[in-house]
Amino acid sequence: MGHRKHSQPRRGSLAYLPRGRAKSMEARIRTWPKTTLQEPKLLAYAGFKAGCIQVVSIDDREKTPNYGKQLVSLATVIATPPIVVIGMRGYSKDTDGLHAAFDVYAKDLPKYVSRLFTAKPSDENIAKAEKSLHRIEEIFALVAISPQAAGREQKKPFVFEVAVKGGTVEKQFAYVKDLLGKEVKIDQVFETGVMVDVAAITKGKGWEGPITRYGVKRKQHKSRKSVRALGSLGPISPSNIMYTVPRGGQRGFHQRVEYNKRIMIMGNTEKNEFKINPSGGFKHFGTVNGDYVIVKGSVPGTYNRLIKFRSQIRKIPSKILKPNILEVVV
């Protein structure tokens, strides 16, 4: 073929490398927003993806062509059972970064936590942690969420860190200390109409060739040996293949974060404010019972997968508008 006659942008993004399988079914949140809150607050929550519905609402985005009109939007239902604050972790900071300085655990831990680890709570640890607050840079709450609380079969809980921001370190310590061993519901963390960032593991597709994985064009149907293979893997020298060359491999089951997803509805099935369950329940999930959240748009991952919400980190608005919901179409 020789060199091509016309230039063209490369196929496939190099922003997501390596395209390998995620280490865990649980997405990790490594960056937290900076806040100007005077009082401490948890900045994240978690739930389990149930399925998709449609929401009819009035468009409240000013300066848009549809402002004030009815909009039918795709939305995702996420079951959000209460999370339990099982502990607290303090981080000190030096020239090498953050280091865990202390761990404090609640006395009455739920039984399902023992499936992951065994903690030894003591008042001495709390007293030691309080004395070391002068060198603590950040406070994180250790929370657990049980899939069985959302009607799932999995017995092993998910345990993860949630950043606590607002006020001084002493205030944050006292805030989490008061929450130890208690349940926290989603309406204590977020409110209706707020934007959140969603982190999850995408649906796995297994091994895929370069045509599907990177969007490379197929060769002519009379090509020798292969049609769905690359025309060239690179020059003869140097004798190695560059990382920029699209190759076959894993597609899906990657960790992804989607920004600025609006919470349209936050409710409980017992209140019967909206009918969200289709007859027979959601496919591969069943019926949603208890607390739930309806987020505008799609969310990464397949049904039953753990979805993490984080406080908005980009384009934080000056005011929060509560959406005007007319109908939920199941």
In a domain, 58, yes or no: yes
Band of residue 4 on the pLDDT scale cut at 50, 70, 90: confident
State the chain's mean pLDDT as an integer. Answer: 94
DSSP class of residue 112? Answer: G
Question: Looking at residue 324, what is its pLDDT?
Answer: 96
What whole-number percentage of the chain has pLDDT above 70? 99
pLDDT tens profile 128-150: 999 999 999 999 999 999 999 99
Question: Looking at residue 123, what is its pLDDT?
Answer: 82
pLDDT tens profile 18-58: 999 999 999 999 999 998 889 999 999 999 999 999 999 99
In a domain, 60, yes or no: yes
Indicate whether 299 pLDDT > 70.
yes
In a domain, 13, yes or no: no
Q: What is residue 150's three-state secondary structure?
A: helix
Region class of 67: left (phi > 0), else alpha (psi between -120 and 50), else beta = beta
Copy the structure tokens of residue 285: 């999930």
Peptide bond into 278 cis (omega under 30): no
Amino acid at 221: H
Q: What is residue 22's three-state secondary structure?
A: coil
Domain of residue 283, CATH code: 2.40.30.10
Q: How many structural domains does the chain have?
A: 1
Q: CA-to-CA distance for 161 and 32, rounded, in angstroms?
A: 11
Q: CA-to-CA distance for 98 and 136, rounded, in angstroms?
A: 10
Sign of the C-alpha dihedral computed for residues 292, 293, 294 and 298 taken in this order:
negative
What whole-number percentage of the chain has pLDDT above 90? 87
Q: CA-to-CA distance for 269 and 280, rounded, in angstroms?
A: 15
What is the domain range of residue 50? 41-203+253-329
pLDDT tens profile 250-294: 999 999 999 999 999 999 999 888 999 999 999 999 999 999 999
Q: CA-to-CA distance for 114 and 111, rounded, in angstroms?
A: 6
Q: State the average pLDDT over residues 165-178.
A: 95
Indicate whether 1 pLDDT > 70.
no
In a domain, 116, yes or no: yes
CB 196 within 8 A of CB 261: yes
CB 139 within 8 A of CB 162: no
The secondary structure of 163-224 as a DSSP string is: EEESS-HHHHHHHHHHHTT-EE-GGGT--TT-EEEEEEEPPP-EEE-HHHHH-PPP--TT-S
Indicate whether 302 pLDDT > 90.
yes
In a domain, 227, yes or no: no
Q: CA-to-CA distance for 67 and 296, rounded, in angstroms?
A: 17
In a domain, 22, yes or no: no
CB 22 within 8 A of CB 253: yes
Band of residue 2 on the pLDDT scale cut at 50, 70, 90: low
Question: Looking at residue 256, what is its pLDDT?
Answer: 97
Q: Other C-beta atoms within 10 Å of 119: how many?
A: 18
In a domain, 21, yes or no: no
In a domain, 267, yes or no: yes
Q: CA-to-CA distance for 262 and 197, rounded, in angstroms?
A: 9
Which range has the worst mean pLDDT, 2-6, 63-67, 257-261, 275-279?
Answer: 2-6
pLDDT tens profile 78-131: 999 999 999 999 999 999 999 999 999 998 888 999 898 888 888 888 899 999
Indicate whether 222 pLDDT > 80.
yes
Q: CA-to-CA distance for 268 and 109, rounded, in angstroms?
A: 25
Rounded to two decimals, the pTM is 0.93
